[in-house]
Structure 1
Amino acid sequence: MQTPPHRPNSGPNASPVNPMPPFVVALFLLIAGIEIAFSAGARGLVGGPGAVGWRLEAVQAYAFSGDVFGWMLANGQYPKEHLIRFVTYLFVHGSFTQAAFAGVMLLALGKWVGEVFGALPTLAVFFGSGVFGALAFGLLTNDPVLIGAFPAVYGLIGAFTYLLWVKLAATGEHQGRAFSLIGMLMAIQLVFSVIFPNGSKDWVADLAGFAAGFAISLLVSPGSWHRIRGKLRRD
Structure 2
Amino acid sequence: MFLRTEKSVKEFIQSYPIISTLVIINISIWILGLLPITFFDRLYDLGVGSHFDIQNGEYWRFLTPIFLHGGFTHMLFNSFSLILFGPALEQMLGRLKFILAYLGAGVLANIATFLLNPDLGFAHVGTSGAIYGLFGIYVFMVVFRKHLIDAQSAQIIVIIFIIGLIMTFIRPGINEYGHVLGFVSGFVIAPLLLTKARPFNPWKNPHSNGPKDIQFNPNRWKKKNFFQRLRLNPFFIFFIIVLIIFIVQNFF
- Give, in whole Å, the separation in 1 of the partners of 2:109 and 2:148: 30
Identity %, equivalent residues: 20
Aligned counterpart in structure 2 of residue 119 of structure 1, from 87, 90, 95:
95
Aligned counterpart in structure 2 of residue 223 of structure 1, from 196, 208, 212:
196
Aligned counterpart in structure 2 of residue 60 of structure 1, from 35, 45, 49:
45
Matching of residue 30 in structure 1 with residue 30 in structure 2: no
In the TM superposition, what are the counterparts of 1:83-98 in structure 2 within 5 Å? 83-98=59-74
Give the drift of 1:106.
1.1
Give the drift of 1:162.
2.4
Give the drift of 1:54.
5.9
Report if the CA contact (8 A) 1:93-1:99 is conserved: yes
Give the drift of 1:169.
6.8
In the TM superposition, what are the counterparts of 1:178-217 in structure 2 within 5 Å? 179-192=158-171, 196=172, 199-200=173-174, 202-217=175-190
Give the drift of 1:68.
1.8
TM-score (norm 1): 0.68
Q: Which residue of 2 aligns with 1:4?
A: none
Report if the CA contact (8 A) 2:141-2:148 is conserved: no
Q: Which residue of 1 aligns with 2:143?
A: 165
Give the drift of 1:180.
3.8
- Specify whether residues 146 and 55 from structure 1 end up closer, same or farther in structure 2 by C-alpha distance, changes over 3 A only: farther
- Give, in whole Å, the separation in 2 of the partners of 1:206 and 1:111: 20
Give the drift of 1:183.
2.2
Report if the CA contact (8 A) 1:109-1:160 is conserved: no
What is the letter of the counterpart of residue 18 of structure 2?
Answer: F
Report if the CA contact (8 A) 1:125-1:212 is conserved: no
Q: Give the count of matched residue pairs.
A: 184
- Give, in whole Å, the separation in 2 of the partners of 1:59 and 1:33: 13
- Higher mean displacement: 56-65 or 176-185: 176-185
- Give, in whole Å, the separation in 2 of the partners of 1:150 and 1:213: 12
What is the letter of the counterpart of residue 217 of structure 1?
Answer: A
Q: CA RMSD in A?
A: 2.8
Q: Which residue of 2 aligns with 1:229?
A: none
What's the secondary structure of 1:145's corresponding residue? coil
- Give, in whole Å, the separation in 2 of the partners of 1:55 and 1:205: 25
Report if the CA contact (8 A) 1:124-1:216 is conserved: no
Deviation string 1:57-85 (CA, Å, 9 cap, x unpaired) is 2332111111122334xxxxxxxxx2221
Give the drift of 1:139.
1.7
- Give, in whole Å, the separation in 1 of the partners of 2:158 and 2:22: 26
| Unaligned ranges ≥5, structure 1 | 1-6, 8-14, 43-50, 73-81, 225-235
Give the drift of 1:164.
3.0
Deviation string 1:123-159 (CA, Å, 9 cap, x unpaired) is 1111111111111221222252111111111111112
- Higher mean displacement: 160-169 or 59-68: 160-169
- Give, in whole Å, the separation in 2 of the partners of 1:69 and 1:38: 22
